Structure 1
């Protein structure tokens, strides 16, 4: 499938891997239909009449308190193909996990400070609207909180974002999985993501690499991360700078129960990584075409395809081919009234921005095409529920029967046969 984020969003908004769009309708009371987290506009002390816009993500639905930590990894066995002169491949990953407490911890920002500064400038240029008074979200996770101890560890899920997109864009989905007992690992694919923040305030920008080459690099990144997780689980610290890791992390990963999902090319990455690495037992693709040899070979393990309202086997030959070669459990779902970027944090954040900022009409129109018209609360709730049901079934052996057929609780999900 064409990447709508590149075709329509950037046609109106530039080239910074934009994550902001619009969805919903303004009601008479001034709120956006769909009930996205309410944007907060706080008065300043300068008498300018302008306030700070504070964006928010929907709260996780799970019962567990969550923690997060970031880890800087260096793969010295590979050269980064996007740098000159060539240097070892560097990655930033984040771990999201059930936490045993939060005493002395702060809530983690959506992006680290140095990356936030750069990204705010990128988005402001793209939207042609000043972003100086906009604060990106604070997550619901506690920075470096101790990990909740579980006898055999927590099932592990990897997340890969869309092309030219940051790992932070999956936060709304990732936090919810962690709050339900999973340890989720999000991966930034350096020099493809628009901005990646490293320790010490260093920031690496995106270089718009070729997508075919990027997919190969992403799959190598995934296998490397899996190897590093094995070291981490054994009690070693893989962080390049030896930064202290949260208490209780050793032995907290049940790597015998590992899954993976991704958005757009990230879903393509999940399929390809599964074909190459049998450590990944189940995978999900959120609206990404399937490229590479896995479309021809298929998979013998469970795989979920979830698409936006304008995508599916009916118009994506790669899905038809891939589907015909799937030998394990498989299912195709479609989210009604959605766009390609509805599966990212763009959905909740955009509704708040449209209410708070004077976006140019042409930008709003292009972004609306990308996000669809479904309310953010309905979209996020449905995505969370079906992703969790899939991984619960195939990593934990828990069948809540949500995947058996349409649910009146989530009427926006269509089962495709």
Structure 2
């Protein structure tokens, strides 16, 4: 997404230089101002609530901020709610929006545009339901967990509690207690050797701490079935899902959405369910061979799906926000609504199968309804 935004800025500068010659003012075309995005409604039928809790792990120092004596985490919860009415939660705070857009080099976009994005979750709604499975979400590097809001709301509407973790100093802006803003200190060292491995190990530790502390930190935690926990992540968050499963047996199943993996699986293999979902770069034998390596070590139920027309950001809210950021998708790119539908549908099918023991024929092989989705490794070699 960063490359797309940089290209958009470059095109804008090029257009400005091309208009340097005098011209009548009435001949200049004024592009329409971007308008806030609205996330698609969840497919599940339940009302959705959301809230934020803050956790502090005093047993370890923050890996990125030498001045912080403890690791602090911001956890956004989405869950089935008792009522549908109430104020909708903002996509992110005004300051988070400003710093995120600055980090993405989004020129010409109002600083509060992502704050004004419409969500479907009611802020502070009373939780509803009993024995609800828990899904932990982890976002891509430099991205806040809010970039997975569409998926989170959809899962909550289907009856899951979703705990989205913002890993401070790993994205452009995370709000901490007292209004403090943690900016991306890890961005200064992301080219260091071993960076990816260290990053996913830290995130795995974050996940385990959240699972330890969430029951005491959130009033609705008593509704969670702690025997049914899964993790889903995008990009480095997907790699962290695998790392968390290697480290913590409480995570029963995991999904990696287009993330190069770094965690080392022991020679005995990982017997719990896992699913890769990615763009054509992750075709077996393709540009990223980390999935080829790990596929052989996944000894339980497993799937490897490649989505034609998808890009790295297709499994996030990025395509849904493109219009608000004044961007036009590249020709041949999977449309935003379709990308969201595929992501939601396959992730929900995986979770329903492995946390609720519900048969999911969609995961047994190719579907004419979702012809973009190829089952690998054998069915998509060379695609």
Q: How does the TM-score come out when normalised to structure 1?
A: 0.78
- Residue 311 in structure 1 maps to residue 311 in structure 2: no
> Which residue of 94, 101, 104 corresponds with 2:76?
94
The 1:49–1:272 alpha-carbon spacing in structure 2 relative to 1, beyond 3 Å, is closer
- Residue 140 in structure 1 maps to residue 120 in structure 2: yes
- Give per-residue Cα distances to partners, 1:117-155, cap 9 Å, x unaligned: 4334444xx1332425735412100111111132xx200
Structure ranking higher on relative contact order (CA contacts 8 Å, 6+ apart): 1
Q: Could you tell me whether the CA contact under 8 Å between 1:114 and 1:201 is conserved in 2?
A: no
**What is the alpha-carbon distance in structure 1 between the residues aligned to residue 68 and residue 103 of structure 2?**
26
What's the offset of the Cα at 1:75? 0.3
Q: Could you tell me whether the CA contact under 8 Å between 1:333 and 1:413 is conserved in 2?
A: yes
- Residue 391 in structure 1 maps to residue 369 in structure 2: no
Alignment match, 2:366? 406
- In the alignment of these two chains, the number of paired residues is 348
> Which residue of 170, 173, 184 corresponds with 1:192?
170
Alignment match, 1:128? 107
**What is the alpha-carbon distance in structure 1 between the residues aligned to residue 330 and residue 106 of structure 2?**
13
What's the offset of the Cα at 1:52? 6.5
The 1:320–1:117 alpha-carbon spacing in structure 2 relative to 1, beyond 3 Å, is closer
The 1:345–1:92 alpha-carbon spacing in structure 2 relative to 1, beyond 3 Å, is same
> Which residue of 29, 54, 63 corresponds with 1:81?
63
Q: Which moved more, 1:198-207 or 1:335-344?
A: 198-207
**What is the alpha-carbon distance in structure 2 between the residues aligned to residue 295 and residue 261 of structure 1?**
21
> Which residue of 234, 245, 270 corresponds with 1:299?
270
> Which residue of 254, 257, 279 corresponds with 1:283?
254
> Which residue of 129, 141, 148 corresponds with 1:170?
148
Q: Could you tell me whether the CA contact under 8 Å between 1:52 and 1:133 is conserved in 2?
A: no
SS at match of 1:53: coil
**What is the alpha-carbon distance in structure 2 between the residues aligned to residue 257 and residue 174 of structure 1?**
17
Alignment match, 1:381? 341
**What is the alpha-carbon distance in structure 2 between the residues aligned to residue 394 and residue 335 of structure 1?**
22
What's the offset of the Cα at 1:405? 1.3
What's the offset of the Cα at 1:98? 0.4
Alignment match, 1:241? none
- Residue 340 in structure 1 maps to residue 312 in structure 2: yes
What's the offset of the Cα at 1:102? 4.4
**What is the alpha-carbon distance in structure 2 between the residues aligned to residue 304 and residue 122 of structure 1?**
31
The 1:51–1:86 alpha-carbon spacing in structure 2 relative to 1, beyond 3 Å, is closer
Q: Could you tell me whether the CA contact under 8 Å between 1:99 and 1:146 is conserved in 2?
A: yes
What's the offset of the Cα at 1:51? 5.7
Structure 1: 5+ residue stretches without partners: 15-47, 239-244
- Give per-residue Cα distances to partners, 1:253-309, cap 9 Å, x unaligned: 111000001011111100111011110111011111221312755410010011102
SS at match of 2:283: coil
Alignment match, 2:224? 253
Structure 2: 5+ residue stretches without partners: 10-29, 190-194, 379-383
SS at match of 1:134: coil
The 1:113–1:52 alpha-carbon spacing in structure 2 relative to 1, beyond 3 Å, is same
- Residue 67 in structure 1 maps to residue 67 in structure 2: no
Q: Could you tell me whether the CA contact under 8 Å between 2:34 and 2:109 is conserved in 1?
A: no
What's the offset of the Cα at 1:317? 2.4
**What is the alpha-carbon distance in structure 2 between the residues aligned to residue 180 and residue 63 of structure 1?**
7
- Give per-residue Cα distances to partners, 1:67-87, cap 9 Å, x unaligned: 011001100001002112242
The 1:405–1:127 alpha-carbon spacing in structure 2 relative to 1, beyond 3 Å, is same
